[in-house]
Amino acid sequence: MTEKIIHQKHVTENFITHIIDEDLASKKHKNIVTRFPPEPNGYLHIGHAKSICLNFGIAADYQGTCHLRFDDTNPEKESKEYAEAIQRDIKWLGFDWQENKFHASDYFEQLYGFAEQLINKGLAYVDDQSAEDMRENRGDFNRPGINSPFRGRTADENLVLFKAMRAGEFADGAKVLRAKIDMQSGNINMRDPVIYRIRRLHHINTGDEWCIYPMYDFTHCLSDALEGITHSLCTLEFEDHRPLYDWVIDNVDIECHPQQIEFSRLNVSYTITSKRRLAQLVEQGNVDGWDDPRMSTISGLRRRGYPPAAIRDFVKQVGISKKNSVISMTILEDVIRNHLNQTSPRVMGVLHPLKVVIENYPDDQVEMLTGANHPQDESFGTREIPFSREIYVEQSDYKENANRKFFRLTEGREVRLRHAYYITCREAIKDATGNVIELRCTYDPESRGGTEDGRKVKGTIHWISAAHAEPVEVRLYDRLFNHPNPASMENFMDAVNPNSLEILPNAMLEPGIAAQEADVVYQFERNAYFKRDKTHEKDKPVFNQVVTMRDSWAKLEQQ
């Protein structure tokens, strides 16, 4: 289901909007056209959310158009599964490309024609060198490149060879087509980059029609131009590729010349935003697939219970700049927490049940109490909560020989049950090993809603009627990595947090909650925010912890 976006402005004012404003004022453009060009070689992650919100958001703010274009030029790693997941993620975030879905493969024939144009102009040649020789002869930042011995081939020779490449007359890797630019350039991207290579691989859209495939730097700029993109928004790592972007467009016969503009990536602490590394986590079984709730993928965030509106707000809060930085995970979690605090109905869930017998409450009596679904918002309404002689409370709400600063259950101390009565702990029942397995308490039947004598208790705890409790499995998630920058480590897998998932198989929940709509995120009062996850369910409902009530990592990040 696509969520409708209600923000008046999707993108806050930034250097890109200033450029667009100037272009519109000068009549350089009448309409704004952007694009989001993912490679279908993995699932999208939180970093992509910034690009999605920027490209689709700018198009919406300027009443323009944003294209979804799959950069499907590397069939070895691409799949329809990834393409379908990308489309789901974009729509879930609240955006829609309408009829503007394209593929780089839609332009393969035109791209081939542009390559022939470069050959005929003496600006491209077929190279027979091995990949190792090309790499060596390309040089580096301290050493200029060396011309290929095949750089002097005539246009006619190159055209014959290039056509033979397309016809499948050469083995994979035997030859490549290179742009003829400048092997002495200080920008290594301009040192005769490869623009076509031979790869006999089945393509998800074109099947086995092609055995040569264009490279990204050749394909991307021309796809932008063919689609009439006005502003091609890329992350900063493509800044050094911009001269090549412009060179290709300038040297073929095409009218549109989009403007490439670079902005900083969205880097979040304690996360990985590399498809290759995310794939490694999946392949090695460190996580339960691409949509594992601990993953930084958009699918993982959705399954965990992050609201799309909160992710959009986070991206908007981070803003757009040209300076790389790392955003604290606590900022993202605070945005999620603040959003859920306003939108989540409250229920009672006991994660570590401890049985309580209220000895002076009638055995056969069941009382229906009323609880507010949201204490700060009456529009959420109320619900009926059954109360009976036996209830469950949290194990942590009892302490033997507790001091005065412990305001919950201990022998002789009175506490208030949320939405119910005052109870006093009389005795703790232990098993043979000394573990407390049951509490014997009494209740004050006149204390519902307060007492006539006006006495106050400092502790209020949540509970669930044992006879009506619904058994559920609860999954508590911590950060997948215990290092703030796992990508900086020699082996990022060393930073995987072995305690990132805790499964509580014996949790209890208010009756009727699990049967409600699965997309609802609930606040289990005093615990955390949770969302049902049917992916893992077998014999009982499963609830994922979305985010804790309070941040427990802030101090660690400041150290």
Would you name the residues annotated as active-site residues?
39, 265, 275
d(CA 380, CA 346): 9
d(CA 355, CA 341): 29
* Cβ count within 10 A of residue 363: 7
Nearest in space to 396 (alpha carbons), one of 442, 433, 350, 434: 350
- Helices first, then strands: H and E counts in the chain: 13, 27
Residue keyed to tokens 């880097």: 267
Contact 57, 10 (CB under 8 A): yes
Beta strands in 172-239 (DSSP E): 176-179, 194-198, 212-214, 231-235
Residue 522's beta-bridge partner residues? 530
d(CA 510, CA 397): 18
* Inter-CA distances, 154 with 23, 119, 151, 195, 276, Å: 42, 9, 9, 18, 40
Contact 59, 34 (CB under 8 A): yes
Per DSSP, the three-state class of 287 is coil
d(CA 339, CA 71): 34
Nearest in space to 291 (alpha carbons), one of 301, 281, 305: 301
Residue keyed to tokens 């594992």: 292
Nearest in space to 345 (alpha carbons), one of 459, 512, 504: 512
- The residue count of the chain comes to 559
Tokens for 405, please give them: 């600063």
Phi, psi of 146 (to 5 degrees): -120, 135
d(CA 515, CA 451): 36
Contact 468, 437 (CB under 8 A): no
* Inter-CA distances, 480 with 248, 476, 498, Å: 42, 12, 8
